[in-house]
């Protein structure tokens, strides 16, 4: 079976599909505009330019630059910690 070919950005050639992660910028607002105290793993991974599984590994091994809080068994990442790590005020 041949591999799927993805266009790095919106499909501009016939027969190419848009990569599933290509439109993440539209899904996540800038970190400066976030007013909630925490964000979910997918959002934190986007802002840190990492995969969500990397953040889950940090939570499990407790060896990452930031530590999550657990809310009803789910991981949540403090926006203040994200801003500190990224140097965003």
CATH domain 22-86 topology: Multidrug-efflux Transporter Regulator; Chain: A; Domain 2 (1.10.1660)
pLDDT digits over 12-63, tens only? 545 555 545 555 666 899 999 999 999 999 999 999 999 999 999 999 999 9
pLDDT of residue 17: 57
Please give the Cα distance from 63 to 75 (Å, whole number).
Answer: 15
> Would you list the domain boundaries of the chain?
22-86
Instruction: Please indicate whether residue 26 or residue 88 has the higher confidence score (pLDDT).
Output: 88
pLDDT of residue 89: 72
Please give the Cα distance from 14 to 73 (Å, whole number).
Answer: 44
Beta-sheet pairing, 17-18 with 6-7: parallel
Cα 39 to Cα 5, 26, 75, 78, distances in angstroms? 32, 16, 9, 7
């Amino acid at each position: 079976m041949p591999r799927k070919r993805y266009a790095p950005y919106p499909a501009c050639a016939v027969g190419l599909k848009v990569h599933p992660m290509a439109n993440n910028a539209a899904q996540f607002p800038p970190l400066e505009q976030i007013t909630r105290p925490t964000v979910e793993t997918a959002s934190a991974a986007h802002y840190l330019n990492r995969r969500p599984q990397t953040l889950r590994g940090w939570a499990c091994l407790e060896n990452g630059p930031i530590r999550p809080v657990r809310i009803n068994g789910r991981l949540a990442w403090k926006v203040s910690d994200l801003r500190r790590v990224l140097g965003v005020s």
